[in-house]
Structure 1
Amino acid sequence: MDLTHAPLFIDKIDETIRSHPDRIAIVDLSTDEPITLTYARLDRLANRVASKLVELGVEPGDAVAYQLPSSWEFIALTLGLWRISATPCPLLPSLREREVKFIMQSSGSKLLIVPDEFRKFSYRQLVDAIRDELPVLEHVFVLPQSVRRPEVSDMGGLLTGETIDLTSRRPGPNTYSELLYTSGTTGEPKGVLHTHQTLSSALLAHTTTLSLTADDRIWAPSPLAHQTGFLYGMLVSFYLGATGIYQAIWNVDTARAAIEEHGATFVQAAMPFLADLTRSEVPPKGLRIFVATGAAVPRQLAREARAALACNVTGGWGSTEACLVCVGRPSDPAEKLAGTDGRVIDGMAIRIVDDEGNVVPPGVEGSYQVKTPAMFATYLHHHEWYEESHAGDGFFDTGDLALIDEDGFLKLTGRKKDVVNRGGEKIPVVEIEDLLYQHEAIADVAVVAMPDPRLGERACAYIVVNDGHEAPELSQITDFLGDRGMAKIYWPERVEVIDEMPRTASGKIQKYVLRNDITEKLNAEQKA
């Protein structure tokens, strides 16, 4: 598959607007009564927003920051930004003063668009708290959440004014299409810039590999301000000319409505969403494919999900920088779909290398590197980080450790920074987590390194306990692992019980938070 000259998504959107103007583009489930927009109506709203942005002085290439929940307003604004070759810079609604200030200063956005309130948090107060520290900020638009219907909303003033001719501002292949900041599994956000061509390459690969069509209905429960929702929810629906179904707050009942009432057939989302649906009292039926990302799907959950949801469940690996590179196909063997992150997509390449950069044989762990036409263009203000992350032959080092089996299926074994080095012995954290996930009392688990004066590091297991169960003792956990054949040297040597895992919006566990937590606890215990 030639991905280098994939049709641009902006052209695909316009093609649908011309040929199927009355097709439903958006089903927004963020209000009591769902809001639906046709492609033609979305186009008119986006053009009005774009015209207002031109009036405000937004130039091609300018980054525009907005912190909106998943909604028709988010989508209309994003399309409006593309209409004038500006760069969307969406911020997760969960970010607060420190993160928003950093992104605003880094992006240089002259505009900030927020809701007045979302999930009982006042964004007016957030803006007031940081505005004096943002000298380039010229305009703030606040969207009242009490007025959401598109027939009465003016989007906080973004829909005022006359529509102008935007033809001369149309983006090209190398125009920046998004500025997303990495979600912080390591604690250091980076501004990732993609172009219209790189995202279009990702979209062609994705929709072709999974045989998605305009007849599919694409459900996006992940925040649109994250690559999972932005690219594999909103933009996938646009690329296909399909209907997108959006929910702003995770709730199983809303998810059930998306699937059973509004006909969702495809979703790509984090594994916790899959677990919640599977283990709900009445699992919804109707999905065709669920691509679970953020972590390989444990075998037990994969079996449960296929039976409960009656759909294909596959794993996949992607990143903000590289987009989706590996995915399981529904036709792949069931034993490969569970416990792996799929296999490489046609037109892309993956490899595992040792510390000297040599490709290792199948089944051997090493540094995971990828090469894809969907690779990002650069890190904002830090092209040297981009250069450092690439090998001389164009492969990008993901920062992950992994292995590729003899059949070409990828299995992530951890982040380089997540490795537990116990006296020179590397602990297989992903294998431990996969086993512990099968324990009836454990709902969620993460194994991290804790400092040790003699061995350097030991393994600590953080667990979330299933409702109705008591937290297992360390001895019960080690007996469980021993009964399943795991060597004693790999057993966790401490257990910490927490209410929930710290996660990014894509569902990845922020292990640096857990490492910091156990380090602080050990220091406190030594001082006691």
Structure 2
Amino acid sequence: MSTVITSKPIGVREPIEGVVYPPAASLARYVEAGALTHETLADGLRLSFTQHAHRIALCGPGGTISYGELDELSDRFAAALLQSGLAPLDRVIFQLSNSNELVIGLVACLKAGLIPVATLAAHREHEIGYLAGLSEARMHFVQGDDPKFDDVEFAQRMQKEVPTLALIVQARGEARGNALGMRTLIDNMPLAQARDTLAGLELDPYQVAVFQLSGGTTGVPKIIPRFNNEYLYNMRSVAQFNGYRSDDVLFMPLPMMHNLNMGCCFGPFLLTGGAVTVAPDLQPQSLVDLFQRYRPTWGAIGGPVLEKLRPAIEAGQMPVKQLRGTISASGAPKLRSILGSPAFHIFGMTEGVIMMTRDDQPQEVRDGMVGRPVSPLDEVKLFQIGTEEEILEEGVEGECAFAGPYTIHGYYKAPERNKETFTSGGFYRSGDLMLFRDIDGQRYYKFCGRTKDVVDRGGEKINAEEVETVVGRHPAVAMTSVVGMPDPVFGERVCAFMVIKAGAVAPTVKELGVFLSKEGVAKFKWPERIEVVSEFPLTKTGKLSKPLLKQAITEILAAERAVSASNTTQARSSS
């Protein structure tokens, strides 16, 4: 699928089966526009590492690493992985909490041409087994010292289920079982030998760099191929849009394998020479300590993290005045009032387009909209829901679809899903609802909700159907329907409505959690409330109505709050 319009070929050299690559004509257009270059993501990182060799790259409880040290460590680890039997394009399951080792491992894979599969430390058999099998992963990269979960033993069990998993590499702690120790691999690989090995690789800028994951709406997460030069462009565009600088310090404590963190936060920071604070956990004191010691200038602070930090902020223990910007999916005005510093909205998806607000936009945009795309080459269309009838009027809500230099053209090994997800013109249907307004010659967008059946729990997109499928296996459950219930901290939490089998007793939330743990479902997906009903509400066409279920749980919660408030008032009166 290569086309040549310059001295270098445009298009992937060795396609991976199951990956949908961008059309050659689109690539040529983006190359001509200067968006896509003939650089890999590793090339972009190496350039930054050389320019900022003496600056701090990573800092936190796990220690401080300079850009020069990050370059050397990742070179040695990359060569050691190749020496251990891996080859470029082999897939690597990443299952670690935030750590310096995670970043070293990620950069090493990019340099070696290995493809990280961006799973989460919280994932279990249900997700890891599927994703490792689908991607035909060759290596499982685990943390090794998690006090609450023996991930080495877990990886050994996964090896028995997924035949392609040849290697287990343990990031920290003394290597156990058949796992190889990351530190030992690095120590046994001389730097000169490592760089000779890597110099012999010819990596493809049009090839997959990372397999990211989608929350999606059906089954377990779908795999999203992100390509070297487009992911590099994505990161550079965000850095330019926000004005990241080499003297900036980042605070983004959520999972580093998330696209939000990788594509919009620590990835762009590593390309601009800024310091990235690495938060190994979300304990309030850990976050406060990190903030106090490193005084971040940029932050990504969602509802759950804000609530953890609020007591320290209100007590004056958090140095927040130096923040040049904080990004959040919603609630920027609230963040500004709490922090006393600039706060901006972000809208985006792992599949591609990123929109943001910033200081040079009108106040009404910064307060209540998601701004505009970070790339002038991003294309946005609004359609009547379920059709390709485009909405051209301002202020009219529609289903949005996107195209651009860093928006995907298909999920990995999902041809049927791809038929449903893309328009006839190749635009990606996100399942989100938006409207636009033209203000002072610039188009801005407002997020209005979702058409997809997804629960957004503090930024984690949870497939309702996935949870329903597993909950439906519980011996007491005849039918179940999962919806998001409103929550002041997480935005939404998971609520499971259930019809119980005759003669059976409904499980409690705790009992259901035990069941889901045995089924290997990540804990953040477990329902946090159960509502037993005799039947589900139906639409006029006889289909289950999730909007009515969401309305029902919203009303139940409101009634409970009213009773609680009344009881509190009565208690105060009686005292």
Deviation at 1:473, TM superposition (A): 1.2
Query: Please, which of 254, 259, 263 is the counterpart of residue 231 of structure 1?
Result: 263
Q: Which residue of 2 aligns with 1:452?
A: 537
Following TM superposition, by how much is the alpha carbon of 1:183 offset from its aligned partner in structure 2, in angstroms? 3.4
Whole-angstrom CA distance in 1 between matches of 2:219 and 2:363: 35
Instruction: Please state if 1:291 is matched with 2:327.
Output: yes
Shift of 1:190: 0.7
**Do the aligned residues in 2 keep the contact of 1:219 with 1:264 (CA within 8 Å)?**
yes
TM-score with structure 2 setting the length:
0.69
Question: 1:66 offset after TM fit, Å?
Answer: 2.1
What secondary structure is seen at the aligned counterpart in 2 of 1:47? Answer: helix
Structure 2 contact 303–489 (Cα < 8 Å) conserved? no
Question: 1:331-480 alignment to 2 at 5 Å?
Answer: 331-345=360-374, 346-354=376-384, 355-360=386-391, 361-376=393-408, 378-383=410-415, 385-386=417-418, 388-407=420-439, 408-418=443-453, 442-443=488-489, 446=492, 451-453=536-538, 457=545, 458-460=548-550, 472-473=558-559, 476=562
| Aligned residues of 1:52 and 1:159 also touching (Cα < 8 A) | no
Residue pairs, 1:18-417, within 5 angstroms: 18-29=50-61, 31=62, 35-118=63-146, 120-145=148-173, 154-155=182-183, 157=185, 159-162=187-190, 163-164=193-194, 165=196, 166-183=198-215, 187-278=219-310, 280=312, 281-282=314-315, 284=318, 285=320, 286-293=322-329, 296-297=330-331, 302-324=332-354, 326-345=355-374, 346-354=376-384, 355-360=386-391, 361-376=393-408, 378-383=410-415, 385-386=417-418, 388-407=420-439, 408-417=443-452
Partner secondary structure for residue 243 of structure 2: coil
Unaligned runs of 5+ in 1: 148-152, 420-435, 465-469, 478-528
Further displaced range: 114-123 or 78-87: 114-123
What is the CA RMSD across the aligned residues, in angstroms?
3.3
Against the structure 1 CA distance between its residues 371 and 274, is the aligned structure 2 distance closer, same or farther, given a 3 Å change threshold?
farther
User: C-alpha separation between the residues in 2 aligned to 1:288 and 1:112?
Assistant: 38
Gaps of 5+ in 2: 1-29, 176-180, 455-485, 498-535, 564-575
* Residue 219 to residue 56, structure 1, CA distance change in 2 (3 Å): same
Q: Is the 8 A contact 2:77 2:185 kept in 1?
A: no
Give 1:364 shift. 1.3
1:5 paired residue number: 36
Contact 1:84 1:170 survives alignment (8 Å): no
CA shift, 1:133, in A, is 1.1
Q: Which amino acid aligns with 1:18?
A: T
Aligned CA distance change for structure 1 residues 474 and 259 (closer, same or farther; 3 Å): closer
Counterparts of 1:449 and 1:118, CA distance in 2: 30
Secondary structure of 2:224 counterpart: strand
Distance (Å, rounded) in 1 between the aligned partners of 2:183 and 2:410 = 32
For residues 115-139 of structure 1, the C-alpha deviation after alignment (integer angstroms, 9 at most, x for no partner) is: 2232511112322333211211211
Using the alignment, how far apart are the partners of 2:396 and 2:405 within structure 1? 26
Instruction: Give CA-to-partner distance per residue, 1:289-313, whole Å, 9 cap, x none.
Output: 11113xx32xxxx333212212211
CA contact (8 A) 2:93 2:137 kept: yes
- For residues 287 and 109 of structure 1, what CA distance do their matches in structure 2 show? 40
Aligned mates of 2:295, 2:118 — CA distance in 1: 27
Name the amino acid aligned to 2:445: L
SS at match of 1:161: coil
Please report how far the alpha carbon of residue 8 of structure 1 lies from its aligned counterpart in structure 2 after TM superposition.
5.0
Give the stretch that moved more between structures: 46-55 or 218-227.
218-227
**Distance in 2 separating the partners of 1:366 and 1:199:** 28
Partner secondary structure for residue 398 of structure 1: strand
The Cα shift of 1:314 comes to 1.1
Amino acid at match of 2:60: D
Shift of 1:267: 2.5
Q: Partners in 2 of 1:75 and 1:26 — Cα distance?
A: 9
Distance change (3 Å), C-alpha of 1:418 and 1:256? same
Match of 1:430 in 2: none
Conserved? CA contact 2:95–2:143, under 8 Å: yes
Q: Compute the displacement of 1:218 (Å).
A: 2.3
Query: Do 2:138 and 2:167's aligned partners in 1 also have CA atoms closer than 8 Å?
Result: yes
Question: What is the TM-score with the length of structure 1 in the denominator?
Answer: 0.75
Letter in 1 for 2:206: N
Aligned match of 2:570: none
